[in-house]
Amino acid sequence: MSRIAVLDYGIGNLGSVYKALVHVGADAELVTTAEAARGADGVVLPGVGAFGACMYALRATGLDRAALDAVDAGTPLLAVCVGLQLLYEGSEESPGIRGLGVLPGDLARLPAGVKHPQMQWNRVVAPAGRRAASALLDALGPDPWVYFVHSFAAPMSDDVVGVCDYGGEVVAAVERGNLWAAQFHPEKSSTAGLALLRAFATRCEANLSAAV
């Protein structure tokens, strides 16, 4: 069975993500060092709270290196909520704090005229005009409704595979090869969320098989 390292940098929704992965049959493990994450067949980057505080804690533990190493090696990586946000260069929420820079651009506050944060169930659909297939979006199943809690959103780009309507199109999911990222909480999103975690675990199994 593949081993999935859940990066435990002392902040965020670690327990619930870990338990949800175990629930779907994954061999998940909380890791606190980059060394412990080395050799994992999949990596999960969770996060809850302010961008700056999460980025500071990730760097202080050295687990930023574990996330970057996974991306560089093509190891399946799933980033959740603020974990998705940390993949970008920065955020309007925490000026001067640089993110991991895996994805281009900075996050901005949700549109004016809607309640901040978005704290609700919302439907995820493909962005207008998108034609390319998405394993992440397919994993959620038809007409997926998932649970969001956030006040800042990633910029639109070719890597965006899912959006929700919240005062306009808001980025909900990003996919670039083996890099998957969800602004919503899969572990709180019932059937659709568990299906996504199960599909990620299956992708990690495929990565293990390909390496053998």
Query: What tens digit of pLDDT does each residue of 141-174 get?
Result: 999 999 999 999 999 999 999 999 999 999 999 9
Query: Mind giving me the DSSP string for 113-127?
Result: TS-SSEEEEEE-BPP
The pLDDT assigned to 208 comes to: 76
Q: Above 70 in pLDDT, residue 199?
A: yes
Q: Does domain 3-211 have CATH number 3.40.50.880?
A: yes
Contact of 173 with 162, CB cutoff 8 Å:
yes
Taking alpha carbons only, the member of 33, 21, 7, 65 closest to residue 205 is 21
Residue 118: partners with Cβ closer than 8 Å, 6 or more residues away:
110, 148, 149, 150, 151, 166, 170
Residue 116: partners with Cβ closer than 8 Å, 6 or more residues away:
109, 110, 151
pLDDT digits (tens, 9 = 90+) for 50-60: 999 999 999 99
- Segment 191-210 mean pLDDT: 92
Q: Above 70 in pLDDT, residue 13?
A: no
Q: Above 70 in pLDDT, residue 32?
A: yes
Of 131 and 142, more confident: 142
DSSP 3-state assignment of 168? coil
Sorted by where each begins, the domain ranges of the chain are: 3-211
pLDDT digits (tens, 9 = 90+) for 65-105: 999 999 999 999 999 999 999 999 999 999 999 999 999 99
Do the bridges between strand 42-45 and strand 3-7 make them parallel or antiparallel, or are there none, so unpaired? parallel
**Six-digit token pair at 1?**
């069975």
Catalytically active residues are 81, 185, 187
131 pLDDT tier (thresholds 50, 70, 90)? low
pTM: 0.96
Q: Above 70 in pLDDT, residue 212?
A: no
Whole-angstrom CA distances from 92 to 85, 128, 152, 155 are 11, 25, 8, 12
